Amino acid sequence: MTKAEIGLIGLGVMGSGLALNMAEKGYPVAVYNRTSARTGEFFEGAGDLRGNLVPCASLKELVAQIRPPRPILLMVQAGKAVDEQIKALRELLSEDDIIIDGGNANFRDTMRRFDELDGSGITFVGMGVSGGAVGARHGPSIMVGGERAAYTRLEPLLTAIAARYRGEPCSAWLGEGGAGHFVKTLHNGIEYADMQMIAEIYGILRDGFGMKAGAIGDIFGRWNGGRLDSYLVGITAEVLATADPATGRPLVDMILDRAGQKGTGRWAAVEAQMMGVPATVIESAVAARSLSAEKTMRVGAASAYGGRTAPAAREPEPAFVDDLELALFAGKIVAYAQGFSVMDEASCGFRWNLPLATIARIWRAGCIIRSQFLDRLALAYDADPDAAHLLLNRDFAAMMSEAHASLRRVVAHAALAGLPVPALSAALGYFDAFRQARGTANLIQGQRDYFGAHGFERTDAEGLHHGPWDSSRAEG
Ligand SMILES: NC(=O)c1ccc[n+]([C@@H]2O[C@H](COP(=O)([O-])OP(=O)(O)OC[C@H]3O[C@@H](n4cnc5c(N)ncnc54)[C@H](OP(=O)(O)O)[C@@H]3O)[C@@H](O)[C@H]2O)c1
């Protein structure tokens, strides 16, 4: 058989789907997995696609099977495993070969790997892939960072396997170095925010109105035909409608209320904090997952503080259901505005020149946060690529003006009923602070000057000033 066009290491959930996807698009792939039984099992299960797959028992064999210059895609656990594979491959690869890390790497690790491989003759690419198992198999969203020339070499293959939105491939080069993995991190941070806000709306309907899962699923299903049309709202409707085969009850009622996280959402919040860009909706969503993990403590607190008010005797009025829809939409606008602000700041700080419209565009299909909404977001950045903030874009300002009163009513309702809505509240708090021309930081500046002589600017004069405080009472 002819030589493979690419090598792939790691036949887990993502690697196996990507290998089949490439094989199906006509690219012969040499595959290797640390546990060799998995390689055999994968190959046996590949059916008609076996003709485009070359199972390899060692890295040496894998390298020998690929046509030089060789691209090799790593789809192994992020972290130490990636460093181990790079170390092993360095011994075997030649000038111009490319190592692509397609896992969920921390972009700071990616930048370190670029430095470590610098001068080795091997090209490195940090590539974010989103879409889960189905995306990997049938079309993910692909966010590439590294040298543009490396992307040009990989482009035909990546655009062939990527998802398509109205014919346009959801794959793009986003910038040098860690740009691709940074954007993937923000994608995941926004994904946390989207999921948390959906869960909060579910909580209001379940605990505030005593609605059954199926009925709540119907509402999400309806919303999925409108402005909230998105993969996550669609799967929410399906999850809520699914019965547990063991008990016949709604499956969601049988699932423990403790959510996991692998770290990428948290990295998004940490990076936002490090850059001094508020990403409060993402931060709230990450924190909510952490609190969800404290099940025993929450059970103790529920008995220490008592429950919230009893659910309403009636189902919500249609007008309130409309408010919930708009509140979720408003929260989404704020979460995306924050996430894109973080990327904008990183773009300057790391000199990536991130193409924000392109990012929105390659998220329209294939990835977990795919939605119709991202099409509007792409258009907003097309119209104004240097927009200072998404909330100042005319189209988004109009949408937010229509939706924020609903967000306020929903957050107020939840607060009075004792229902937790940390992400929706964060969105509202941010929005209110964002549009406050005269904020309250004047008092903070007074306090800072009082205890630390930090000085303050005056509204009526230039320069740095100090208050007439009694400095002997200051404590530093
Ligand atoms: N699952 C998703 O939805 C998703 C989505 C986007 C990105 N990702 C990222 O994609 C990457 C792969 O994820 P996955 O879900 O496909 O993982 P997975 O199903 O758990 O598979 C992990 C793969 O990594 C290999 N591996 C682990 N440690 C290794 C080591 N020290 N040396 C060599 N190989 C090692 C495993 O080989 P063995 O069979 O020998 O254990 C296996 O092939 C991760 O970075 C993940 O965060 C996942």
Name residue, tokens 């066009």: 5
Alpha-carbon distance of 227 to 333, in angstroms, equals 11
Write the Ramachandran bin of 373: left for phi over 0, alpha for psi from -120 to 50, otherwise beta.
alpha
Opening angle at CA 155, ends 86 and 59, nearest 5: 25
pLDDT at 422: 98
Per residue in 148-169, pLDDT (tens digit) is 999 999 999 999 999 999 999 9
Put residue 312 in one of left, alpha, beta given phi > 0 → left and psi -120 to 50 → alpha.
beta
Alpha helices (H) in 367-434, listed in sequence order:
373-383, 394-417, 422-434
pLDDT, residue 215, reads: 98
Q: Looking at residue 314, what is its pLDDT?
A: 86
Task: Please say if the pLDDT value at position 476 is more than 60.
Answer: no
Asked whether the predicted pLDDT for residue 385 surpasses 90, the reply is no
Q: Distance, CA 103 to ligand 1 centroid (Å)?
A: 7
The Cα 407–Cα 148 span in angstroms is: 42
Q: Is 76 in the pocket of ligand 1 (CB under 6 A)?
A: yes
Torsion of CA 74, 80, 81, 84, to 10 degrees: 90
- Annotation marks residue 262 as catalytic: no
Q: Provide the H-helix boundaries in 212-317.
A: 213-223, 231-241, 264-275, 280-293, 295-305
What mean pLDDT is predicted for residues 439-458? 97
- Its pTM stands at 0.96
Residues above pLDDT 90, as percent of the chain: 94
pLDDT, residue 471, reads 64
- State how far the Cα of 414 lies from the Cα of 35, in Å rounded to an integer: 50
pLDDT tens column, 258-292: 998 888 999 999 999 999 999 999 999 999 999 99
**pLDDT at 474 > cutoff 60:** no
Name the average pLDDT for the chain: 96
Grouping H, G, I as helix, E, B as strand and the rest as coil, residue 450 is helix
The stretch 351-364 carries a mean pLDDT of 97
Alpha-carbon distances, residue 304 vs 300, 301, 307 (angstroms): 6, 5, 9
Specify the amino acid at residue 291: L
141 — pLDDT class (breaks 50, 70, 90): very high
In ligand 1, the atom with minimum distance to the C-alpha of 16 is: 16
pLDDT value for 1: 60
Instruction: For 54-73, write each residue's pLDDT tens digit.
Output: 999 999 999 999 999 999 99
Annotated active-site residue 84? The verdict is: no
Q: Which atom of ligand 1 is nearest to the CA of 34?
A: 40
pLDDT > 70: what percent of the chain? 98
What is the Cα–Cα distance from 183 to 76, expressed in whole angstroms? 19
Q: C-alpha 285: how far from its chain's center?
A: 11
Please identify, by atom number, the ligand 1 atom nearest to the C-alpha of residue 78.
45
Query: CA-CA distance, 166 to 373, in Å (whole number)?
Result: 15
Query: In terms of Cα–Cα distance, which of 278, 274, 242 is closest to 350?
Result: 274
Length of the chain: 476
- 3-state SS, residue 5: coil
Look at residue 199 in the predicted model and tell me its pLDDT. Answer: 98
Say if residue 458's pLDDT is above 70. Answer: yes
Tell which residue, 392, 189, 417, 160, has the closest CA to residue 288. 189
What's the pLDDT tens digit per position in 94-138? 999 999 999 999 999 999 999 999 999 999 999 999 999 999 999
Q: Which of 5, 87, 168, 184 is catalytic?
A: 184
What tens digit of pLDDT does each residue of 315-325 get? 899 999 999 99
Report the nearest atom of ligand 1 relative to the CA of 35: 40
Q: Give, for 38, the enclosing helix (H) or strand (E).
A: helix 36-44
Residue nearest to ligand 1 atom 24, measured at CA? 76
Pocket test for ligand 1, best of 75, 264, 368 (most atoms within 8 A of CB): 75
Residue of 176, 191, 271, 325 marked catalytic: 191
pLDDT at 270: 97
Question: Which helix (H) or strand (E) element contains residue 30?
Answer: strand 29-32
